[in-house]
Amino acid sequence: MRLSRNNLNIGKEKLPRHIAIIMDGNGRWAKRRKLPRIEGHRQGVKRTRQIVETCGKLDIDYLTIFSFSIENWSRPIEEVNFLMNLFEETIKLQVPDLLKNNVRMRFIGRFDNIPEHVMKTIKWGEAKTKGCTGLKLIVAISYGGMSEVVDAVKKIIDKGIPSHEIDEKSFHKFLYTPDVPFPDLLIRTSGEYRLSNFLIYQTAYSELWITKTLWPDFTPSLLLKAISDYQNRERRFGGV
């Protein structure tokens, strides 16, 4: 079975099992159009819905999206409040579609600063979609890769596990998603060449695909292009 879009042939047999996306450029998208930054975020949410739907149709197992970093808390309070309310609104609106499309939604990050009403909606969304068996959508919110590693180390110390029992495989068990395979493909929009503290442990061997396209303009066709490029790469993991 093959999916063809814009002259791109996507082979189902070589699909990445896990795609991670740094969704960057909402603010710049709005600025270029002389619109408030919040309009860029609204358009970004619409684009996210399309990409989630496309990943589901492609039978991708896992999609992890970087929606709000720990560093984003330093943004103007008005923008942060808007984003928190937008997260809550989006979860409530999207859960029926997620259920319809058999998509399970999960959240990762440090949740201490997230408003109580938003956390209540997050837990509700996770509970409602827990039984879904299709695409696993992982949303990183108030997330930092270095913080995740630190939190993992703290768990190991708290459990009193001796150092000789810790290796790369066992360390994975203490990350936020111990049951999730590491990303095969990492996509970053807006043309920036950095991880920005996103899944810094998990992406050690991920294939990177970077585009100058801003997130609100990232179409399903570009996702297919990234996957097509991934399928033409040879992954050696340090071997020959």
**DSSP states of 73-86 as a string?**
GGS-HHHHHHHHHH
Percent of the chain with pLDDT over 70: 95
pLDDT score for 235: 75
Closest Cα partner for 177 from 199, 195, 205? Answer: 199
Distances, alpha carbon 125 to alpha carbons 52, 89, 93, 178, in Å: 16, 11, 10, 20
Chain length of the chain:
240
Contacts of 166 (CB under 8 A, 6+ apart): 156
- Helix 37-57 vs helix 220-231: angle between axes, to the nearest 10 degrees? 50
Rg (C-alpha) for the chain, rounded Å, is 18
d(CA 84, CA 147): 20
Q: What is the token pair recorded at 151?
A: 């939190």
pLDDT score for 14: 87
61 tagged catalytic: no
Domains by residue range for the chain, with CATH: 2-8+17-145+182-231 (3.40.1180.10)
d(CA 15, CA 182): 14
User: Taking the mean position of all CA atoms in its chain, how far away is CA 157?
Assistant: 28
Give the torsion sign (CA, 215, 222, 195, 149): positive
Q: What angle do CA 45, 49, 50 make, to 5 degrees?
A: 120
Q: Is the pLDDT confidence value at 3 over 60?
A: no
Mean pLDDT throughout 176-192? 97
DSSP H or E stretch at residue 143: strand 136-143
Find the range with the poorest average confidence among 113-122, 130-139, 193-202, 229-238. 229-238
Active-site choice (6, 7, 24, 232): 24
Q: What is the token pair recorded at 220?
A: 């399903």
Mean pLDDT throughout 114-122? 98
Q: How confident is the model at residue 6 (pLDDT cuts 50, 70, 90)?
A: very low
Active-site choice (7, 9, 72, 113): 72
pTM over 0.85: yes
CB atoms inside a 10 Å sphere around CB 50 = 13
d(CA 181, CA 183): 7
112 tagged catalytic: no
